[in-house]
């Protein structure tokens, strides 16, 4: 083929979506244009002067360095060895719930891998001996010794299972309750199990459930997180379950996205299907096996938890080359957060009789994260608190009495902020709302 | 690097320790490149620095105090609203203070008198939504929905909607400006009282001085407040639909509608725009580069090149589109009337209607400027002019011809003459020429092209917009005036005798050419051996 004169014959560079090497993302870091699509609510959906941003990190601290656009510049300096690890650098990298708002915002126009870059930065921080934060090390110790985030007694993990809950010894479905619902937000585990029972879905529990490792992976402790992933995946395969159900958005994201990422396989090759309670309930309502008939007299709104929305597109490993004009080959299907459980959730919420569902100004991929996730609340409680209070302002703006979410970590964080504010808002998990609408 | 300790302490006393920092990590976040407007070009590499410190004032009074301290301690500073405008809005000298204005996000809207008052931290899309809520609208400039309204309006501030709404100077009702020495000047109707409706103030109006033709990029002070006129819109809601990246505003088709026409020739295209203006119909009339359509269709960069690779010089040469936005401002009947008039015009000129989506992806609320970087990674609107309709279209063709010589590194676009449209109901024509490249390639050709456009404009007698702060002043000034450079430097010296405000603008491009070896072969104009400005070490 004749060489075209109107373009360079650019040498191709190898590149992979591999977060263990920050250099894979130098292109992404160097192409940030400061449009701040990572920060503002997508302009088509911009609700007005109030509630106009979607980045908890840059909402908490106004300096550009706390936004993804600042972090891309800082990340490049780290990758090129121009910046030493300091307390301020660690704060900027870790004071961030990695909620994915920046990633979907950037992929509105530019397709830069912002989320993976931020993960790779943390992995490098750990590899360089600078990260994670002291609070994270404590969690890591808890997970290593007690197999849960909190350092609670491992044997108490299944204490949430009450007599009115039917758990099968063997079933196609396995319910992974996660640390929060097992120890702190047991109402969520109970509600999930009861709804599964009501829908006629037989489920079993893991013989010995361990933490999913969300915090480990999220703070860059990839070696520890990978070991946990291997252990959990093997245990589930061994159980014979075909479907894993979670009620926690963070566990869901871990199993569906970050486990395959760490194990260098696609989500489809995990050996079992990963679903969130939302998907199960939506399907059961559609099929008629779950009948929300009991009126629930509340005015409520819904908070799209990040792990079940913009962060949960399935994972496919990719490696290839980048050449002229930055084009990559083989073709890469970008994860843009379009496969979030947005419509499934609304199907459920609109099916609750007697209740008035009102949307907040920022919804779906534009939702403002509660600020608790991925190691943030433990290391930067003020950020988590500020974010939750800001989101609660939005709840009050639409005059909702109840805030529904789909993640126990969101629930805990909102509840704490409500307590401090003295607000009259009640927080419910979506499983609890569905349970309240069932005549059982 | 950081600014003097005494100055830092004084500044900290103004805003508090939470809103100032000289930490290297904080300052690194304010680096101009490597991505963004003019990314990877020589100007960015040679002329930009990381700030010595960053400060975030909340009020005009704080800005005044900061600027006075900068004068006292001779600390150079640059105002910064969102940082989107690439190297020209970032620090240019060592130990410079970057004044980040994002916390100045005050907003008020007067529904009855159709105006808004904003601070520099307020961007366009929230303004537009608030205006929509009150039955009004504004122009979201081509800079994008994410641009600070103030920063955009003192520079550019137009879009296809300018066909009806008009140029920015007709919509800036009042401006509050902190001069480079800290003195406060209120211009337009903000000069007296708190009612900016009328738009005129007593005495000489300095708004033109502040703005020049397309702004002076922050070298003559800091605008801390602006009153902007809004215009009546139609009342039906525009509903956001879709999930990112495929989002759009669903349009109420009886009140708002985009229509496309394929015209038989360039002459017919220009004539159609002229006739639409003459008939005083439509909210926007435009012709955008063909590759923008490929951007809109493509799911990703690779798909863009697949689509665009099918085009060639002939397909581009024979593509004459006119895209029209019809708005039923007063009623459905008015919309119907406008559409009938448009159809009559098109029938007469041989325009063939083309299918369009019943939605708006760009211009009403979201001006998608960020998409400009998708194809190549680097982009700049190298120039724009406001001329008559017939002159404007010729301008783009000259640019396209010059561009051939510099392709590559510039993106192959098969001679597309750029963006062309009607302003102020056809009384003016607008031409904007955009170029794209990959910053990882050798960008010398882009730097050369940029400068050569000035020479071309002088040679062909086109009046270019960016002659002041974007080209060597000693090249363009003598040719456009003939004393434009002297006048501008006198203004600068009068208002900023210490040159603390964003040095070395307006001589930054002269400085760049002097400092960049690869630019020297192009320097064939007279300039002082030492540029007439203080040196900043």
> Is residue A430, in this structure, part of any structural domain at all?
yes
Q: How far apart are CA B71 and CA B66, in angstroms?
A: 9
What average pLDDT does the structure give for chain B?
92
* Position A5 in a domain: no
The per-residue DSSP string of B357-384 comes to -SEESSSSS---GGGGGTTTSEEEEEEE
pLDDT at residue B464 above 80? no
Looking at A244-258, A342-356, B18-32, B415-429, which range is the least confident one?
B415-429
**Set of chain B residues whose Cβ sits within 8 Å of the Cβ of A71:** 29
The string of DSSP codes covering A224-252 is HHHHHHHHHHHHHHHHT-SEEEES-HHHH
Strands A299-302 and A402-405, how do they pair? parallel
- In chain B, which residues have their Cβ closer than 8 Å to the Cβ of A33? 35-37, 39, 84, 370, 373
**Spatial distance between the Cα atoms of B187 and B196, rounded to a whole number of angstroms:** 10
B7 near B70, Cβ under 8 Å?
Answer: yes
Give residue for tokens 């609109």.
A350
Q: Do B244 and A31 touch (CB under 8 A)?
A: no
- Determine whether the interchain pair A86/B25 forms a contact, defined as Cβ–Cβ distance below 8 Å: yes
User: Pairing relation of β-strands B321-327 and B352-354?
Assistant: unpaired
ipTM of the complex: 0.96
| Chain A nearest CA to B202, separation (Å) | 32
Q: What is the CB neighbour count within 10 angstroms for residue B256? A: 24
Nearest to B35 among A32, A77, A89 (CB): A32
Estimate the crossing angle of helix B266-278 against helix B332-349, to 10 degrees: 150
pLDDT digits (tens), chain A, 440 positions = 566 788 888 999 999 999 999 999 999 999 999 999 999 999 999 999 999 999 999 999 999 999 999 999 999 999 999 999 999 999 999 999 999 999 999 999 999 999 999 999 999 999 999 999 999 999 999 999 999 999 999 999 999 999 999 999 999 999 999 999 999 999 999 999 999 999 999 999 999 999 999 999 999 999 999 999 999 999 999 999 999 999 999 999 999 999 999 999 999 999 999 999 999 999 999 999 999 999 999 999 999 999 999 999 999 999 999 999 999 999 999 999 999 999 999 999 999 999 999 999 999 999 999 999 999 999 999 999 999 999 999 999 999 999 999 999 999 999 999 999 999 999 999 999 999 999 98
CB contact under 8 A, A65 and B240: no
Tokens of B51: 């700030």
- Indicate which of B16, B21, B29 best probes the interface with A, i.e. most A CBs within 10 Å of its own CB: B29
Q: Do B25 and A329 touch (CB under 8 A)?
A: no
Cα gap A66→B54, rounded to integer Å? 13
Q: B82 and A34: CB-CB below 8 Å?
A: yes
Between B425 and B462, the higher pLDDT residue = B425
Cβ distance of B25 and A83 shorter than 8 Å: yes
Please name the residue that has the structure tokens 């307390």. Answer: A87
User: Looking at the domain assignment, is residue A6 inside a domain?
Assistant: no
CA distances from B328 to A38, B201, B387 (A): 35, 34, 28
Please state, in angstroms and rounded to a whole number, the distance separating the CA atoms of residues B229 and B189: 12
Q: How far apart are CA A348 and CA A433, in angstroms?
A: 10
Query: Among residues 383-422 of chain B, which lie with CB inside 8 Å of chain A?
Result: 407-409, 411-412
A4 assigned to some structural domain: no
Nearest of B433, B317, B309 to residue B375 by alpha carbon: B309
Which chain A residues have a beta carbon less than 8 Å from that of B247? 42, 44-45, 108
What does the block give as tokens for B250? 């669903």
Cβ of residue B129 closer than 8 Å to a chain A Cβ: yes
In the predicted model, what is the mean pLDDT of residues B305-317? Answer: 91
Phi-psi domain of A323 (left: phi exceeds 0; alpha: psi -120 through 50; beta: other):
beta
pTM over cut 0.90: yes
State which residue of chain B sits closest to A104, comparing Cα positions.
B244
> In the CATH scheme, what architecture does the domain B253-460 have?
3-Layer(aba) Sandwich (3.40)
pLDDT over threshold 60, residue B211: no
β-bridge pairing B97-100 and B77-80: parallel
Render the burial of A221-253: b for 16+ CB within 10 Å, e for the rest: bbebbbebbeebbebbeebebebbbbbbbbbbb
Nearest beta carbon to residue B370 from set A33, A88, A329:
A33
Can you name the residues that pair with B261 across neighbouring β-strands? B322, B353
Residue B365, chain A, CB below 8 Å: the answer is yes
Least Cα distance to B273 among B343, B347, B323 occurs for B323
Buried/exposed code over B416-438 (b: 16+ C-beta within 10 A; e: otherwise)? bbbbbbbbbbbebbbbbbbbbbb
Q: Which chain B residues are closer than 8 Å to A66 by Cβ?
A: 29
CATH number of B107-232: 3.30.465.10
Q: Return the number of CB contacts < 8 Å for A and B.
A: 196
Half-sphere exposure of A53 (CA within 13 A, CB side): 19
Task: Report the alpha-carbon angle B7-B8-B9, nearest 5.
Answer: 90
Q: How far is CA B396 from CA A6, A169, B325, B401, B434, in A?
A: 20, 74, 23, 9, 10
What Rg do the C-alpha atoms of chain A give, in angstroms? Answer: 22
Mutate to test the interface with B, among A35, A312, A344, A363 (most CBs of B within 10 A): A35
Find the CB nearest B376 among A107, A109, A325. Answer: A325
Note the pLDDT tens digit of each residue in A191-242: 999 999 999 999 999 999 999 999 999 999 999 999 999 999 999 999 999 9
Instruction: Identify the residue among B87, B138, B244 best suited for mutation to test binding to A, counting A beta carbons within 10 A and taking the highest.
Output: B244
> How far apart, in whole angstroms, are the C-alpha atoms of residue B473 and residue B87?
18
**Which of B127, B365, B438 is the closest to A44 by Cβ?**
B365
In this predicted structure, the answer to whether residue B218 has a pLDDT above a threshold of 80 is no
Lowest average pLDDT, out of A180-189, A232-241, B287-296, B299-308, goes to: B287-296
The DSSP code for A255 is I
A contacts of B301 (beta carbons < 8 Å):
111, 325-328
Residue B215 has pLDDT above 60, yes or no: no
- The length of chain A, given as a count of residues: 440
- Closest CA of chain B from A433, distance in Å: 26
Which residues of B, range 84-113, sit inside 8 Å of A by Cβ?
84, 100, 102-103, 105, 107
Torsion, Cα B510 B512 B515 B520, to 10 degrees, reads: -70
* Neighbouring residues of A438: CB distance < 8 A, sequence distance ≥ 6: A194, A195, A198, A290, A291, A292, A293, A294
Task: Kindly write down the DSSP assignment for every residue of A326-370, as one continuous string.
Answer: G-EES------STTSSHHHHHHHHHTSTT-EE---SS-GGGPPP-
What are the distances in angstroms from CA B310 to CA B270, B316, B321, B407, B434? Answer: 26, 11, 18, 18, 20
Mean pLDDT along residues B340-363? 95
pLDDT confidence of B204, banded at 50, 70, 90? low
Are B408 and A6 a contacting pair at CB < 8 A?
yes
Rounded Cα gap, residues B469 and B472, in angstroms: 8
Q: Which residue of B has its CA nearest to A327?
A: B302
**Within chain A, what is the greatest distance between any pair of CA atoms?**
76
Flag if A46 and B56 touch (Cβ within 8 Å): no
User: Is a pLDDT exceeding 70 seen at residue B1?
Assistant: no
**CB spacing of B146 vs A109 below 8 angstroms:** no
Q: What is the 3-state secondary structure (H, E, C) of B140-203?
A: CCCCCCCCEHHHHHCCCCCCCCHHHHCCHHHCEEEEEEECCCCCEEEEEHHHCCCCCCCCCCCC
Structure tokens at B340: 């009938």
Across the interface, whether the CB atoms of B25 and A66 are under 8 A apart is answered no
Q: How far apart are CA A343 and CA A356, in angstroms?
A: 17
Provide the residue count of chain B: 537
Q: For chain B, what are the domain ranges? A: 5-100, 107-232, 253-460, 473-522
Range of the structural domain that residue A109 is part of: 13-436
Structure tokens at A223: 């070696």
pLDDT for residue B13: 98
- In which band, very low, low, confident or very high, does the pLDDT at B296 lie, cut at 50, 70 and 90? confident
- Domain B5-100, CATH class in plain words: alpha beta
Is B148:B225 a contact under the CB 8 Å cutoff?
no
Please provide the distance, in angstroms rounded to a whole number, between the alpha carbons at the two ends of chain B: 11
Q: Tens digit of pLDDT for each residue in B127-168?
A: 999 999 999 999 999 889 999 999 998 888 899 999 998 888
B214 has a pLDDT exceeding 50:
no
Paired tokens of A49: 């002067």
B120 touches chain A (CB under 8 A): no
Tokens, residue A204: 């079993």
- Cβ <8 Å between B249 and A45: no
Closest by CA to B158, choosing from B482, B80, A93, B147, is B147
How would you classify the pairing of strands B53-55 and B97-100?
parallel
Taking CA–CA distances from B363, the nearest residue in chain A reads A44
Joined together, the tokens standing for residue B148 give 């600070």
Total number of domains in chain A: 1
Q: CB distance B247–A42 less than 8 Å?
A: yes
């Amino acid at each position: 083929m004749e060489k075209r004169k109107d373009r360079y014959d650019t040498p191709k560079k190898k590149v992979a979506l591999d977060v263990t090497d920050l250099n894979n993302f130098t292109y992404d870091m160097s192409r940030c244009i400061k449009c701040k699509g990572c920060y503002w609510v997508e302009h088509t959906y911009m609700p007005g002067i109030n509630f106009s941003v979607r980045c908890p990190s840059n909402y908490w601290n106004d300096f550009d360095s706390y936004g993804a656009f600042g972090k891309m510049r800082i990340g490049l300096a780290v990758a090129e060895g121009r910046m030493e690890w300091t307390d301020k650098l660690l704060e900027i990298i870790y004071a961030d719930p990695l909620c994915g708002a920046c990633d979907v915002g950037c992929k509105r126009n530019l397709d830069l891998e912002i989320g993976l870059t931020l993960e790779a930065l943390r992995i490098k921080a750990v590899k360089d001996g600078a990260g994670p934060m002291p609070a994270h090390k404590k969690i890591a110790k808890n997970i290593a010794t007690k197999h849960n985030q909190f350092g609670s007694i491992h044997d108490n993990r299944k204490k949430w299972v009450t007599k009115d809950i039917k758990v099968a010894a063997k079933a196609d479905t396995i319910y992974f309750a996660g640390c929060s619902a097992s120890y702190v937000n047991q109402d969520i585990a109970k509600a999930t199990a009861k709804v599964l029972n009501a829908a006629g879905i037989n489920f079993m529990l893991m013989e010995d459930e361990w933490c999913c490792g969300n915090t480990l992976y999220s703070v860059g402790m990839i070696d520890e997180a990978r070991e946990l992933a291997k252990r959990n995946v093997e245990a589930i395969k061994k159980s014979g379950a075909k479907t894993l159900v979670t009620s926690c958005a963070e566990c869901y994201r871990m199993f569906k996205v970050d486990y395959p990422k760490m194990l260098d396989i696609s989500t489809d090759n995990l050996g079992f299907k990963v679903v969130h309670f939302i998907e199960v309930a939506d399907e059961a309502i559609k099929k008629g096996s779950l009948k929300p008939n009991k009126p629930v007299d509340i005015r409520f709104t819904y908070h799209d938890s990040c792990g079940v929305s913009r962060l949960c597109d399935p994972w496919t490993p990719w490696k290839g080359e980048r050449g002229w004009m930055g084009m990559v080959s083989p073709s890469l299907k970008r994860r843009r957060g379009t496969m979030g459980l947005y419509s499934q959730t609304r199907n459920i919420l609109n099916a609750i009789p007697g209740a008035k569902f009102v949307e907040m100004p920022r919804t779906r991929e534009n939702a403002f994260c509660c600020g608790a996730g991925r190691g943030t609340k433990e290391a930067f409680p003020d950020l988590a608190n500020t974010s939750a209070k800001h989101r609660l302002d939005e709840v009050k703006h639409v005059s909702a009495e109840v805030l529904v979410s789909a993640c126990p970590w969101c629930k805990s964080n909102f509840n704490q902020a409500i307590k401090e504010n003295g607000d009259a808002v009640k927080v419910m998990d979506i499983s609890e709302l569905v349970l309240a609408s069932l005549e059982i | 690097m950081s600014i003097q300790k005494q100055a830092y302490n004084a500044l900290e006393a103004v805003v508090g320790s939470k809103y100032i920092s000289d930490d290297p990590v904080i300052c690194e976040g304010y680096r101009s490149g490597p991505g963004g407007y003019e990314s990877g070009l020589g100007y960015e590499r040679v002329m930009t620095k990381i700030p010595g410190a960053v400060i975030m004032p909340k009020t005009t009074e704080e800005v005044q105090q900061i600027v006075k301290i900068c004068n006292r301690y001779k600390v150079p500073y640059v105002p910064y609203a969102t940082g989107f405008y690439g190297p020209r809005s970032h620090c240019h000298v060592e130990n410079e203070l970057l004044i980040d204005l994002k916390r100045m996000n005050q907003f008020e809207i007067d529904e009855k008198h159709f105006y808004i008052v904003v601070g520099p931290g307020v961007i366009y899309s929230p303004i537009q939504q608030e205006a929509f809520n009150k039955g009004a609208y504004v122009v979201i400039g081509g800079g994008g929905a994410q641009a600070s309204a103030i920063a955009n309006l003192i520079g550019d501030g137009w879009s296809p909607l300018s066909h009806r709404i008009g140029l920015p100077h007709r919509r800036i009702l009042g401006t509050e400006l902190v001069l480079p020495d800290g003195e406060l000047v209120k211009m337009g109707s903000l000069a007296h009282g708190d009612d900016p409706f009328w738009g005129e103030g007593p005495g000489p109006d300095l708004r033109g001085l502040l703005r020049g033709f397309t702004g002076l990029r922050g070298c003559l002070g800091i605008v801390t407040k602006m009153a902007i006129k809004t215009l009546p819109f139609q009342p039906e809601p525009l509903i956001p639909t879709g999930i990112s990246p495929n989002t759009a505003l669903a349009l109420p088709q009886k009140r708002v509608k985009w229509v496309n026409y394929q015209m038989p020739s360039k002459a017919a295209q220009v004539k159609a725009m002229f006739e639409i203006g003459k008939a005083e119909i439509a909210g926007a009339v435009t012709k955008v580069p063909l590759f923008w359509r490929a951007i809109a269709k493509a799911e990703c960069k690779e798909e863009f090149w697949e689509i665009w690779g099918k085009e060639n010089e002939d397909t581009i040469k024979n593509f004459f589109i006119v895209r029209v936005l019809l708005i039923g401002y007063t009623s459905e009947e008015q919309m119907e009337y406008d559409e009938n008039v448009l159809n009559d015009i098109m029938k007469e000129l041989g325009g063939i209607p083309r299918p369009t989506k019943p939605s708006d992806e760009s211009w009403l609320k979201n001006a998608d400027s960020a998409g400009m970087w998708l194809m190549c990674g680097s982009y700049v609107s190298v120039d724009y002019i406001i001329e008559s309709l017939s002159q404007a279209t010729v301008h783009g063709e000259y640019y396209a011809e010059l561009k051939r010589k510099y392709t590559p590194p510039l993106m192959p676009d098969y001679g597309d003459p750029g963006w062309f449209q009607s302003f102020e109901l056809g009384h003016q024509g607008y031409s904007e020429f955009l170029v794209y490249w990959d910053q990882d390639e050798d960008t010398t050709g882009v730097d050369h092209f940029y400068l050569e456009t000035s020479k071309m404009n002088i040679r062909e007698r086109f009046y270019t917009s960016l002659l002041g702060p974007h080209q060597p002043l000693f090249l363009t000034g003598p040719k456009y005036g003939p004393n434009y450079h002297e006048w501008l430097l006198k203004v600068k010296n009068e208002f900023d005798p210490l040159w603390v405000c964003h040095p070395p603008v307006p001589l930054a491009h002269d400085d760049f050419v002097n400092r960049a070896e690869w630019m020297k072969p192009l320097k064939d104009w007279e300039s002082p051996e030492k540029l007439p400005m203080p040196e900043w070490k």
